[in-house]
Amino acid sequence: MLFNSLNYLIFFPIVILFYFAIPAKYKEIRNFWLLVASYFFYMNWNAAYALLLFGSTFVTYLAGILIEKAIEKENISFAKWILGISFAINIGILFFYKYINFFILNINRILGLRGSNEIGLLDILLPVGISFYIFQALGYTMDVYRQKTKATKNLFRYMLFVSFFPQLVAGPIERSTNLLKQFDEEHRFDTDRVREGLLTMLWGLFMKIMIADNLAVYIDSVYENYPAFAGIEIILATMMFAFQIYCDFGGYTYLAIGSAKVLGFTLMENFNAPYQATSIKDFWRRWHISLTGWFTDYLYIPLGGNRKGKMRKYVNTFIVFFVSGLWHGASWSYVVWGVINGIYLIIQDVTVAVRQKVKQYLHVREDRFSYRFGCGVVTFFLVDFSWLFFRAKSLGIAVDMLKQIVLSLQPAKIFGLAVNRMGYSMQQLVALIFAMLLLFAFDILKNHIYLMSKEDVQNRSGSRARQAGRPANVFQIVLSQGMWFRWLVYLGLLFVILVYGAYGLEYTQTEFIYFQF
């Protein structure tokens, strides 16, 4: 069931209605209702794979209990064994369903097996969201082992933690220290919270339907038939893809956060104006924050992090981004994408002293807008170069597209690029440009506005002290304005979604890109 579908438009109000019809004091009944709704939501893709979801959940549930008991008895070695078994089973499930055919293909290639001698591929359908819910479940067992959270004895509550439908199939990858404890709380109907949740969902739909799906029109035409396009057109399509994947994945995240907020739950932020980053390190603090945090806490730090010298730090960084690329898909193009970003980070760290001396010699002021803007442009183009490998169907195609850029750039074509060659009408193109400008304005507000408490936002008074590391809540700011402004925002977003998005003449409902991971 897709968030951008009529099915969800029916499903979600029914879930809300029954959830709040149950008195708040009956938390377990409410949780059971959400659990049933979550499994129904997941089974709409493939009912059989609900068993896989339950299997992963049950293994980590038992592991959490056994680990906690072993630690209480100071039997740390047994706790490590249980943790290792839990990881082995879940990673084994992930490997089989996501990577077994990739493994077979590479074995055939390495051994030179062809024709009747080849190892046959398995007919397996990748379960939607498997990488997300397995990582969330494994994070729980690690948190129990580290004694950051208590093992839950309530199976239904833990099942709900792993399968909570707003973030089940594409994150954010939640931590037990945040989400699990919220199922113990009483969530009462709150009009302000519901309004904020619905506005958040509306913005998510705008990002997905109005921007991401419309950008896909030109991007898909170029990437599906790249030999027919000049190098400059491939560059343009790749730049557009940077925003497509942001709006597609970010749109899903806002829909997930908004859906949870309506029900009274708070999910973590997953994006913070990523294309306003002024360095690669800054970009990865802003992009897919939940996955970056997961790899930092459960892979980078256990490998030694930066505690064992510079060279070990760089090796660990490389390993993390290699694994991150592989996590995204069973293809060498994803691995190369991850490795490129890992190399960026290593180079950035290695050259710190040199860059600092150059800036001092040239009297560069880091607080100047021109400096930050220049850093932002360089960062964007570095990130965008890696996106080409992410979007291409294979590593070979990515290399061919780079050759096309070098050998057939034809920069003059950008000035004569016909709108109909891009696949848009003039009206659609103008609407898309306007939507992109609105996205930039949103991210600028989110990244630069001074944060206020909810009471200050409502009263528009009080101190405006910036809180480092916390993005501004643009939705609360909008909701604090006068009624005419609020309704202008509501109706404006609905108008462009309905006219140029979901019910436009050429719109085809599409899945979210990250569902395949």
- Written as one letter, the residue type at 6 is L
Q: Which one is catalytic: 187, 328, 363, 448?
A: 328
Structure tokens at 119: 């190892």
Give the Cα separation of 161 and 287 in Å (integer): 23
* Together in a domain, 206 and 184: no
**pLDDT winner (highest mean) among 41-50, 100-109, 380-389, 476-485:** 380-389
Range with the lowest mean pLDDT among 104-118, 235-249, 468-482?
468-482
DSSP string, 355-373: HHHHHHHTT--TTSHHHHH
Q: Is residue 138 part of a domain?
A: yes
pLDDT-derived band of residue 114, with 50, 70 and 90 as boundaries?
A: confident
Query: At CA 54, angle to CA 50 and CA 56, rounded to 5?
Result: 120
Structure tokens at 51: 């068993």
pLDDT of residue 416: 64
* Together in a domain, 28 and 120: yes
Please report which helix (H) or strand (E) contains residue 501, including its range.
Answer: none
Mean pLDDT of 101-120: 86
- Written as one letter, the residue type at 463 is S
Q: Is 288 a catalytic residue?
A: no
Give the Cα separation of 200 and 178 in Å (integer): 20
DSSP string, 261-319: HHHT--PPP--S-GGG-SSHHHHHHHSSHHHHHHHIIIIITTTTTTTT-HHHHHHHHHH
pLDDT of residue 472: 64
Domain count, the chain: 3
pLDDT-derived band of residue 474, with 50, 70 and 90 as boundaries?
A: confident
pLDDT(461) > 50: no
* Together in a domain, 404 and 436: no
Give the Cα separation of 363 and 358 in Å (integer): 8
State the residue range of the domain holding 377. Answer: 194-422
* Together in a domain, 198 and 175: no
* Together in a domain, 288 and 206: yes
Encode pLDDT of 354-391 as tens digits.
999 988 888 888 888 899 999 999 999 999 999 999 99
Give the Cα separation of 145 and 159 in Å (integer): 19
Query: C-alpha 51: how far from its chain's center?
Result: 25
Encode pLDDT of 199-235 as tens digits.
999 999 999 999 999 899 899 999 999 998 999 999 9
* Together in a domain, 413 and 432: no
Q: Is residue 13 part of a domain?
A: yes
> Cβ of 108: how many Cβ atoms within 10 Å?
16
* Together in a domain, 154 and 300: no
Q: Is residue 472 part of a domain?
A: yes
Given 395, 422, 449, the domain boundary residue is 422
- Is residue 274 within 8 Å of 287, Cβ to Cβ? yes
State phi, psi for 226 to the nearest 5 degrees.
-60, -30
pLDDT(90) > 80: yes
Give the Cα separation of 10 and 464 in Å (integer): 41
pLDDT of residue 465: 39
Structure tokens at 514: 């990250």
Rg (CA), the chain: 24
pLDDT-derived band of residue 450, with 50, 70 and 90 as boundaries?
A: very low
Structure tokens at 129: 């969201």
Structure tokens at 425: 């009408």
Range with the lowest mean pLDDT among 345-359, 412-426, 451-465?
451-465
pLDDT-derived band of residue 426, with 50, 70 and 90 as boundaries?
A: confident
Residue length of the chain:
517
**How far from 253 is each of 39, 83, 434, CA to CA, in Å?**
19, 30, 22
pLDDT of residue 517: 66
Q: Is residue 449 part of a domain?
A: yes
**67 contacts: CB under 8 Å, gap ≥ 6:** 79, 82, 83, 141, 144, 145, 151
Burial 22-52 (b: 16+ CB within 10 A, else e): eeeeebeebbbbbbebbbebbeebeeebbeb
pTM: 0.91
Given 189, 212, 243, the domain boundary residue is 189
**pLDDT winner (highest mean) among 228-232, 320-324, 450-454:** 320-324
pLDDT(460) > 80: no
Give the Cα separation of 42 and 25 in Å (integer): 27
pLDDT-derived band of residue 417, with 50, 70 and 90 as boundaries?
A: low
Q: Is residue 339 part of a domain?
A: yes
Exposed, middle or buried by CB within 10 Å (0-12, 13-18, 19+), for 153? exposed
pLDDT-derived band of residue 118, with 50, 70 and 90 as boundaries?
A: confident
- Local structure of residue 174 (DSSP, 8 states): -
Q: Is residue 1 part of a domain?
A: no
Q: Is residue 495 part of a domain?
A: yes
Structure tokens at 517: 């991971």
Query: At CA 20, angle to CA 19 and CA 24, rounded to 5?
Result: 100
* Together in a domain, 172 and 137: yes
* Together in a domain, 176 and 203: no
* Together in a domain, 208 and 173: no
pLDDT of residue 458: 47
Please report which helix (H) or strand (E) contains residue 394, including its range.
Answer: none
* Together in a domain, 446 and 463: yes
Q: Is residue 355 part of a domain?
A: yes
Angle between helices 76-94 and 130-145 (to 10 degrees): 180
Mean pLDDT of 451-455: 45
**95 contacts: CB under 8 Å, gap ≥ 6:** 103
Q: Is 511 left (phi over 0), alpha (psi -120 to 50) or beta?
A: beta
Give the Cα separation of 306 and 117 in Å (integer): 46
* Together in a domain, 179 and 200: no
Q: What percent of the chain has pLDDT over 90?
A: 66
- Is residue 37 within 8 Å of 17, Cβ to Cβ? no
Given 393, 422, 451, the domain boundary residue is 422
Average per-residue pLDDT for the chain = 88
